[in-house]
Chain A
Amino acid sequence: MTRLLVCPPDFFGIEYEINPWMRLSNRVDHEQAVRQWHGLMRVFEQDLGVVLERMTPVPGLPDLVFTANAGVVVGRTAVVSHFRYPERQREEAYFEDWFREHGYEVVSAEKGVCFEGAGDLLGFPDCWFGGYRQRSDIRAFPGLSKRFHREIIPLELIDTRFYHLDTCFCPLSGGELLYFPPAFDPYGQMAIAERIPNGQRVSVPEDEALKFACNAVCVGKHVVLPSGCPATERLLQERGYDTHAAPLDEFMKSGGSAKCLTLVLD
């Protein structure tokens, strides 16, 4: 059974600008954000039978809702993130505490090396991919590869709008990859093609990529993605996936969507 770590959006808002989506002038409708978040949770719990672990929100940490960046969890080990921007570095201690209190062996990212958790480390059972350049440092990956005995293919993120790997790259349970190729340079695109055969790669159209169609959560044959991405839904349905669109535009104001709001625990 899938378990996800989430954090209610009690203190969610835009209090700083650390990605191209964030505009202090673009105010979040807080009540609407809360409604959207609970709607998403309903899909997970009621439609997909996912178990949710809820963190306690902290005033002054508006982005704590984006639990994908807490770290990565492999078995009972949690590697806690080290954020690039000071605005989010204050979240690290809270995530670390949560992992400790829940019995995880906590490992810190290498000192002085930025690593933003499952936002930049995604993959298939054998092969993982690591996004770098925007937030995480490429130097974070060799250590993780050694610790978890997994190949980690680093992919440079070349478009600041797709600042985490999970904004443009979503591995699916059947081995397919939902992604937006122009977020990667030709080297990255070739490296992806080397690992994932042509028929398994599903390219998302640009207008839907910009609605974060790739910031989706795949649970078995179900994919939860932001609403407003009908072409992506069709592509997924053609491959036998049930799609669940959730309105999340209040979170898009902050540059996050379905996947950013969750962290896979098991």
Chain B
Amino acid sequence: MSASQETVLMSGHIIDSLVLAKVLDIILMMGGSFDIQDMQIGKTREDSSRARIFIRAASAALLNDILTAIQPHGASIEREADCQTAEAPADGIFPENFYATTHLPTQVRLRGQWVDVDRIEMDLGILVDERKSRATAVTMGDVRRGDRIVAGREGVRIIPLQRPRERDVFGFMEAQVSAERPHGHIIADIAARMGHLRQRYRQGQPDSKVLLSGGPAIIHAGGRDALTWLIEQGFIHLLFCGNALAAHDMEADLYGTSLGYGLTAGRAIPHGHEHHLRTINRIRTIGSIEAAVTSGVIRHGIMAACIRQGVPVVMAGTIRDDGPLPGVITDSVRAQSAMRAAVPGVGLALLVASTLHSVATGNLLPATVPTVCVDVNPSVPTKLSDRGSFQAVGLVMDAASFLSELVRVLERTA
């Protein structure tokens, strides 16, 4: 994308003269698109105004035509400089004044060329390999002494998100966090995306994976069957969770309870509180969840569906975990790396009923990935949005209702 975008500046009495409007119209009429990155409007008639316009075109030739057409109207190309780098002074330490990333698509200018930053993610640094003309987002922990890290803001540009072609709920790119709003159309839009992505995934197309990051409330609330169905039908391609979701899912299979409560009877079962411990102990005895499923000990549910469908599961542990289950990564830095490694290729993320996993997953996702955060507690989508994942659509509702409604729509349309 580096060849087909440019930033131009305009100044003067560009508003009332409609010269700005004319330039923007020219860009659109020629088939380009634009974002106004900065706008200062004069306070009085004598004051002039300034605009900084980011222009995007499908090809370098078209961009050049657009720039040629708008330059006579006073749009001049912004002066550009290469990015500055500094050496990491030690392993795990960024140089002073390192550039901290956002999760928006980002480019750095290396020897006069704009280069995309690979694996962009918020709150990282940018590692530059000048010989290969490559730039990659890098965590503080992964940086090695002597690495060239981008410093300062010069020669770094952030590409604003393009409005998606689909005119669905994700097109607005705003977190709708309210229990008062109707959910039906949002769920319908998510279902439509999932249907489309499943088709693309089966054709081996890029960025077609659907990630679900979930908490144990999915099981408690009665969303287990719905999620199992979604996995079995090929709508989910990657699962992030903790020890609890997996443990309660398999507890339900072995004992019919979730954290000791009978899932069908809806009341506490005598000694039910032991069930999840006995489940964990059982799986630990067998050695792995996969072995428990393939040997027929675990027959139904989310974990069984993931194993049978070949859906990768990344389980990240927490301090209060019992056991944990085999496969749960208890080193949080390692867990973060494992999640990060699985994220490329995700085209839709569903963050359901887990504060910690939702925020952690949100932090790893580029802003270009449509994201939905579902929780009964409005503070979760709000927190996610406050932590920078502004692209996430918030849905304040119970996990089981969400998943069941999603299944209902997909069953109807599939």
Contact = CB atoms under 8 A, between A and B. Distances in A.
A160 B18 CA distance: 21
B45 A142 contact: no
Contacts of A156: 19, 22, 73
A145 B46 CA distance: 7
A83 B22 CA distance: 26
Interface stretch (A66-74, A147-155, A217-225): A147-155
Interface stretch (B9-17, B157-165, B206-214, B370-378): B9-17
Interface in A160-193: 185, 187-188, 190-191
A141 B18 contact: no
Given A126-B45, A138-B73, A145-B46, A153 B16 contact: yes
Contacts of A149: 46
Contact of A187 (B12, B19, B45, B74): B19
A112 to B, nearest CB: 12
Nearest to B45: A151
Given A151-B45, A151-B46, A145 B21 contact: no
A185 B22 CA distance: 10
A146 B46 CA distance: 8
Contact of A190 (B13, B18, B74, B76): B18
Contact of A151 (B13, B19, B73): B13
A141 B12 contact: yes
A139 interface: yes
A266 interface: no
Interface in B48-93: 48, 72-74, 76
A152 B12 contact: yes
B17 A142 contact: no
A64 B105 CA distance: 56
A132 to B, nearest CB: 8
Given A138-B12, A145-B13, A156-B73, A187 B48 contact: no
A133 interface: yes
A127 interface: yes
Contact of A153 (B11, B13, B72, B73): B13
Nearest to B76: A139
A194 interface: yes
A142 B16 contact: no
Nearest to A141: B12
Contacts of A138: 12, 19, 72-74
Contacts of B21: 187
A191 B17 contact: yes
Contact of B19 (A137, A146, A150, A154): A154
Contact of B18 (A139, A150, A187): A187
Contacts of B46: 145, 149-151
A178 to B, nearest CB: 20
A194 B48 CA distance: 17
Contact of A142 (B22, B48, B72): B48
Contacts of A142: 11-13, 48
Contacts of A133: 72
A145 B12 contact: yes
B389 to A, nearest CB: 40
Contacts of B12: 138, 141-142, 145, 152, 154
Nearest to B75: A138
Given A138-B72, A141-B12, A142-B12, A155 B17 contact: yes
A190 B209 CA distance: 50
Given A127-B45, A145-B48, A151-B46, A187 B16 contact: no
A150 B73 CA distance: 20
B32 to A, nearest CB: 18
A156 B14 CA distance: 12
A98 B21 CA distance: 41
Interface in B7-50: 11-14, 16-19, 21-22, 45-46, 48
A155 B45 CA distance: 16
Given A138-B72, A142-B11, A187-B22, A154 B17 contact: yes
A232 B19 CA distance: 30
Contacts of A153: 13, 16-17
B72 A141 contact: no
Contacts of A141: 12-13
Contacts of A195: 16
Contacts of A155: 17
Contacts of A152: 12-13
Contact of B16 (A126, A137, A191): A191
A209 B45 CA distance: 31
Contact of A146 (B18, B22, B48): B48
Interface in B187-234: none
Nearest to B18: A187
A127 B76 CA distance: 25
Interface string B349-365: 00000000000000000
Interface string A109-146: 00000000000000000110000110001110110011
Contacts of A151: 13, 16, 45-46
A208 to B, nearest CB: 27
Contacts of A194: 16
A118 B75 CA distance: 24
Residue from B17, B45, B72, B73 having most chain A Cβ neighbours under 10 A: B17
Interface of B: 11-14, 16-19, 21-22, 45-46, 48, 72-74, 76
Interface of A: 126-127, 132-133, 137-139, 141-142, 145-146, 149-156, 185, 187-188, 190-191, 194-195
Given A133-B72, A154-B19, A188-B18, 10 more contacts: A127-B45, A139-B74, A141-B13, A142-B11, A145-B48, A151-B13, A153-B13, A154-B13, A191-B16, A195-B16
Which 3 pairs of residues, A with B, have the shortest CB-CB distance? A142-B12, A187-B18, A138-B74
29 contacts: A126-B45, A132-B72, A138-B19, A138-B73, A139-B76, A141-B13, A142-B12, A145-B13, A145-B46, A146-B48, A150-B46, A151-B13, A151-B16, A151-B45, A153-B13, A153-B16, A153-B17, A154-B12, A154-B13, A154-B17, A154-B19, A154-B74, A155-B17, A156-B22, A156-B73, A185-B22, A187-B18, A188-B17, A191-B18
